[in-house]
Amino acid sequence: MFRVLFLLFIIIPIIEIAVLMQVGALLGLWPTIAIVIASAWLGAKYVRQQGLATMQSVQTKMAQGEMPSNEIVTGLLLLVAGVLLVTPGFVTDIFGLSLLIPAVRNSLVGAVQKNLVSAQVGSSPFSGSAHFYSSHSTHTSQGNVYEHEVQTSETYNTNEPVKPISHHQGETLEGSFERKE
């Protein structure tokens, strides 16, 4: 991953400089600078507009009790688009503007979610269940708290609501606390 990022930070600026020099030779210095500034300003304006719409969609889905996974990935892609558009240059502007097109962004959202879901399914060792391990200790008459340690393992089906289980009902824990502010 480091090598890829390193190459991107070297190759992208070289490509940007070459393209800026070609466009500058074709149009002149001031029109080239004006185009770069205008594209950054317009891009930031559209990223802000679409970002606010995405935020409203996230809030609506959250209020309905749904997981806004599409909107989260869309928000990340809009963040990337904003960074690309604010970066001076034509190549990054083209990539940033392409992320502002809803059809392109939706296809990327689908691809990202497909990879995330397959990564989660592939790495889950529990296959639909969750394991909770707990350790309970009993207090003996000699005062040794760790003498009778009991190790329990419980498996819960993640499709059913988890009900609290109490192994030692009626046992009182003694102690004191001090509030430090």
What percent of the chain has pLDDT above 90? 12
pLDDT in tens, 95-139: 988 988 889 988 888 888 787 765 555 554 544 444 444 444 444
Of residues 174 and 28, more confidently modeled: 28
Model confidence band, residue 72 (pLDDT cutoffs 50, 70, 90): confident
pLDDT at 156: 45
Per-residue model confidence as pLDDT tens digits over 139-181: 444 555 444 444 444 444 455 555 555 555 566 767 776 777 7
Could you tell me the pLDDT band of residue 64, with boundaries at 50, 70 and 90? confident
Per-residue pLDDT averaged across 28-35, rounded?
Answer: 92
Rounded average pLDDT over 14-26: 93
Among residues 38, 50, 36, the alpha carbon closest in space to that of 104 is found at 50
The model carries a pTM of: 0.57
Residue 14 pLDDT level (bands cut at 50, 70, 90): very high
